[in-house]
Amino acid sequence: MTMRRTTEPRASFIKATLWMVGLSILLFWLPILGPVVAGLVGGWFAGTIGRAVLASLMPAVLLALLIVGVGTLFELPFVGALAGGAIGLVILLGDVPLVLGAIVGAVVSQRR
């Protein structure tokens, strides 16, 4: 009896991003382990290292752009850009465990 591989695509960028965001919110009380676990699961669903890193950084970039947009709506483009850039930088620096977990999850996914 031979085992056949299924052709259904497991890897999905959107699914990986949603898993990372959802698990990060649920595991916020675990300072480093929570983002690593979220990254592992999201990296597994991403399938490749490139998609895993992009999926882990995308929420931070979108949040920073949202803050810039809100600042622009209230006619404070400089303050919005400054606040968005600063908050984006803080979030990106805080995402280091998430990105590392995503890379490991993608590598494990590719080896399977």
Q: Note the pLDDT tens digit of each residue in 31-57.
A: 889 999 999 999 999 989 999 999 998
Looking at the domain assignment, is residue 1 inside a domain?
A: no
Q: What does pTM read for this prediction?
A: 0.77
Q: Could you tell me the residue range of the domain that residue 67 belongs to?
A: 13-111
2: in domain: no
Domain annotation covers residue 91: yes
Two structure tokens written together for 97: 């465990």
Q: Can you tell me the distance from the alpha carbon of 71 to that of 96, in angstroms, rounded to the nearest whole number?
A: 27
How far is 10 from 55, CA to CA, in rounded Å?
15
Is there a domain that residue 107 lies in?
yes
HSE-up of residue 3 (Cα within 13 Å, Cβ side): 1
Would residue 4 count as lying in a domain? Answer: no
Domain count for the chain? 1
